[in-house]
Every structure is written in C-alpha cells, then in structure tokens.
Amino acid sequence: MARRKKSSGFEDMLDLLAMLPWWLCVALAAASYFFLHSWAVVPQAADIAGRPGDMMAAVVQKGLIYGLASIGQYLLPFMCLVAAAMSAWRRKQRKALVKGVAQAQDVAALGDISWREFELLVGEAYRLQGFRIIELGGNGPDGGVDLVMIKGSEKFLVQCKQWKAQRVGVAIVRELYGVMAARGATGGFVVTSGRFSNDAQAFARGRNITLVDGPQLLAMVQRARQSLVNGPKAAQAGGSPPAAPARTAVATASATAPAAPQPPSTKPNCPRCSAAMELRTARQGANAGKSFWGCSTFPGCRGTLAAASSPWAGG
C-alpha cells in the first residue's frame, strides 16, 4: 500500500489516542484536566525555605511545574477530545464502508474505494469477528504490514493489497512470512481486491498464511454486515458461523464429516461457505502431521474436511 506522509508528534499522538474508543478518550480528557489542575498552583513564598541557593532551585522547579501544568491542563484534555471526535468519526466511516460494500453485488466495488478505505474495510471486517485491530498503514520497516490483529494471546499480521490488474505474487507472501517469524506472530493474512498468482497460493499452502482474494473478501464483508445488523446468532443461523482465531489451522476428524470423493485435480468446496479449500498439514494436537482440507478464508470461515478419506489426500 502507499505510504503515509510524515507527520508531526502532535498528529502522531492524536492518531494514537484515536485508536481508543471515543468514550475512553473523553474519560482521559476529564482525568488529565483534574490531575494537571491540581499541580497548576502558583508557588507561594511560604512554601520555599532554606539557603538562598536551595531556594532559587526550588523556585525554578516549582515555576517549571506550574508552567507545564498550567498549559497541559487545557492542551492534553483538548487533544483527548479531538481524538474522541476522530475515533467516533472513524467508527462511523468503517460502518458506512461495510454497509456500502456489503450491498454491492460485484467485486468491482472493492476497487472503487481508496487504498486507505480498503484498509479500514478489511480491519472492520475482522473487528466484527472479535479481533482487536491495530492500524499501521504499512508505515515503517515492518515488511509492509498494514494491520495487526489480536485476540487473546494470539497476534496476526495483515497485508492489504488493493491491486486491480496485477496479481499478488509469491514475493509478497514470502515477505509476510519472514516478518511473521521475526515478530513471533501466530499467523498472517494477505488480503487483496484482485487475485493471487499460482506461486503465491502454492507457497501459502501448508503454512499458517491465509490468502483472501476479492470474491472471498466481499463474502466476508457481507457476513460481517449480517452480523452487525442481525447479531452473531442470526449470522450463525444463516450459515456463516462467527470466526475465532486458532494458533494453527488444526482440524480434528471428529469435527467434520468426510467429503464425497472428487477428482484428484479438483479442490473441494467448503461445506460452510462454498469457498475453495486448501490442502494443509496440522502442526499441533492429536492430528499433527496429518493432512486436511481447510477453508481458504480461514479464520473468516473455519470449515474443514478430512483429507485422509479422499483419494487425492497426501503430504
């Protein structure tokens, strides 16, 4: 994604505060005012006693504290209130994005929004699945990571690629895989409005990297919108269960029914969301080392099929 322009420390602080819920920013504004107001007291001569040298140092110290507190008691609450407004506006913007794209019937809608809106859309789609989202905007020497998703003790890294004509190649996926290892991430996602190359899909297969293309993202946004409007139970009743992250894409044979035999060259469709499935290898648990079919939109959908009972199963 494009890089953001360099910003001042004031703007960075506002962005940091705006990541918090608006009501928490308001609470911080009130708390900072009352705390700093208690220090914004003119030092009295009676409070300063001792030798002339010590008295001078005490006067300077108390004067400095008074000056900083006098300015800070208004500046810091003002920043918090501005951040609260920004947080509320961004929340409204994200909901409008999800609503607008979810109502579209064509993947082309993903290309009609800006790259910044695309990142917000991806983040909100996963936020509605219970993830905590940290927006980075691909800024800094972090391998182009745009989002960090956290749930519990698990951390996932996300790259957003709003590419219309060019397919996302294997170099992007390899780059993310390296950053995942360096930062100790549980898994990673590459989300695009277009498609992935065959090499990229082959590299991600068997690794804890999920590739989400345009049609899969549109379906995920539509499910997220359904959850937002009708609640998680209604979305689950409609055939789209709420997503939850896992340390690895591990499937148990008892959790799913075996699929009917299909030709070896054909990938099965997910029994839950009908998306294409990927052949993966369990890394942990009782089925470690065994192959299974996992939904390509994981963790947006956790549909699985046992590969052992299928004629194309293998390493």
Per the CB < 8 A criterion, the answer to whether 187 and 150 are in contact is: no
Tokens 């139970």 sit on residue? 233
User: Is the same domain home to 114 and 177?
Assistant: yes
Measured between alpha carbons, how far is 215 from 105 in angstroms, rounded to an integer? 10
pLDDT grade, residue 231 (50/70/90)?
A: low
Q: Is 98 a member of any domain? A: no
Measured between alpha carbons, how far is 155 from 171 in angstroms, rounded to an integer? 22
- Could you report the per-residue pLDDT of 114-149, keeping only the tens digit for each? 888 888 889 888 888 888 888 876 554 445 788 999
Measured between alpha carbons, how far is 82 from 34 in angstroms, rounded to an integer? 18
Percent of the chain at pLDDT > 90 equals 16
Q: Which phi and psi angles does 5 have, rounded to 5°?
A: -70, 155
User: Is the same domain home to 108 and 180?
Assistant: yes
Lowest mean pLDDT among 13-27, 75-89, 132-146: 132-146
Q: Is 34 a member of any domain? A: yes
User: Is the same domain home to 131 and 222?
Assistant: yes
User: Is the same domain home to 278 and 236?
Assistant: no
Q: Is 283 a member of any domain? A: yes
The strand pair at 187-192 and 209-212 is best described as parallel
- Taking the whole predicted model, whether its pTM rises above 0.95 is answered as no
Write the CATH number for 130. Answer: 3.40.1350.10
Q: Is 99 a member of any domain? A: no
* Residue range(s) defining the domain that contains residue 225: 104-245
Structurally, the chain folds into a number of domains equal to 3
Q: Is 1 a member of any domain? A: no
- Could you report the per-residue pLDDT of 246-280, keeping only the tens digit for each? 333 333 333 333 444 444 446 777 777 777 788 88
pLDDT grade, residue 73 (50/70/90)?
A: confident
Lowest mean pLDDT among 51-60, 147-156, 196-205: 51-60
Over residues 22-29, mean pLDDT: 85
Q: Is 81 a member of any domain? A: yes
Structure tokens at 301: 């959908």
Task: Kindly list the strands in the beta sheet with 277-281, ordered across the sheet, starting from the edge strand earlier in the chain.
Answer: 277-281, 291-295, 304-306
User: Is the same domain home to 65 and 129?
Assistant: no
Q: Is 2 a member of any domain? A: no
